[in-house]
């Protein structure tokens, strides 16, 4: 996976590659899907949601430019895999999921595998997680039509937000926002397809 899916497509941060090697992806998917765990595609995790393909997880982690001392918010816990990867790269990770069954299962997987610097929260992550803010990095694994104002409010000086945004629910561009002295700079990192961010500052549930 690391050579053929990540290095070959330009992921080169050695810390990100090491994190992708360290986290056992097969532990975050259903027993029946374990043989497919390292495939170059997303996999279903229940509740109509998916665990992103390894390349997408690594790309977002690299874009977050983590050095090891950051407080991170991940929005969209899903299986817990992305949070586990981020936990290898930052100091502490808060991850929030809106679907109770997914949050419960991710909590139990992360505890069993002893990812002790990951904290799982249940709630509407389109509002961020104000009680734990400010964050150095916010990684959002579901797409919205625009950047939720709560994220900019909860971002530390010098902080980054990595988030898919698009006017269609199922196709977005991935953006990196950087807070530089109170102003946001924006990098467009290309086209991706994520599930929708459902919530008060995201899409309406249908």
Residues of the shown chain interacting with ligand SAM in the complex, contacts defined by CB under 6 A: 45, 49-52, 75-76, 78-79, 81-82, 96-99, 102, 124-126, 141-142, 194-195, 197-199, 202
Task: Write the CB contacts of 206 (distance below 8 Å, at least 6 apart in sequence).
Answer: none
Shorter beta-carbon distance to ligand SAM: residue 78 or 166? 78
- 138 in Cβ contact with 75 (< 8 Å): yes
Q: Say whether 108 is catalytic.
A: no
| Dihedral (CA of 7, 10, 15, 19) sign | negative
**Separation between Cα atoms, residue 131 and residue 186, nearest integer Å:** 26
Sequence length of the chain is: 206
Residue tagged active-site, from 52, 79, 87, 150: 52
CB of 123 to ligand SAM, least distance (A): 7
CB of 180 to ligand SAM, least distance (A): 27
CB of 122 to ligand SAM, least distance (A): 9
Catalytic residues, which ones? 52
């Amino acid at each position: 996976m690391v050579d053929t899916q990540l290095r070959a497509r330009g992921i080169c941060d050695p810390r990100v590659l090491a994190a992708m090697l360290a986290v056992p992806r097969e532990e975050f998917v259903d027993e029946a899907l374990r043989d497919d765990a390292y495939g170059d595609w997303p996999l279903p995790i229940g509740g109509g949601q998916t665990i992103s393909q390894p390349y997408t997880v690594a790309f977002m982690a690299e874009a977050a430019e983590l050095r090891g001392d950051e407080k991170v918010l991940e929005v969209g816990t899903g299986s817990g895999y992305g949070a586990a990867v981020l936990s290898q790269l930052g100091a502490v990770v808060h991850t929030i999921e809106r679907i109770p069954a997914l949050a419960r299962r991710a909590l139990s997987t992360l505890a069993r595998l002893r990812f002790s610097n990951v904290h799982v929260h249940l709630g509407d992550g389109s509002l961020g997680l104000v009680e734990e803010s400010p964050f150095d990095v916010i990684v959002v694994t579901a797409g919205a039509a625009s950047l939720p104002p709560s994220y900019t409010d909860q971002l530390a000086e010098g902080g980054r937000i990595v988030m898919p945004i698009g006017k269609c629910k199922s196709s977005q561009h991935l953006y990196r926002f950087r807070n530089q002295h109170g102003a946001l700079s924006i990098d467009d990192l290309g086209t991706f397809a994520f599930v929708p961010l459902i919530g008060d500052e995201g899409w309406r549930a249908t």
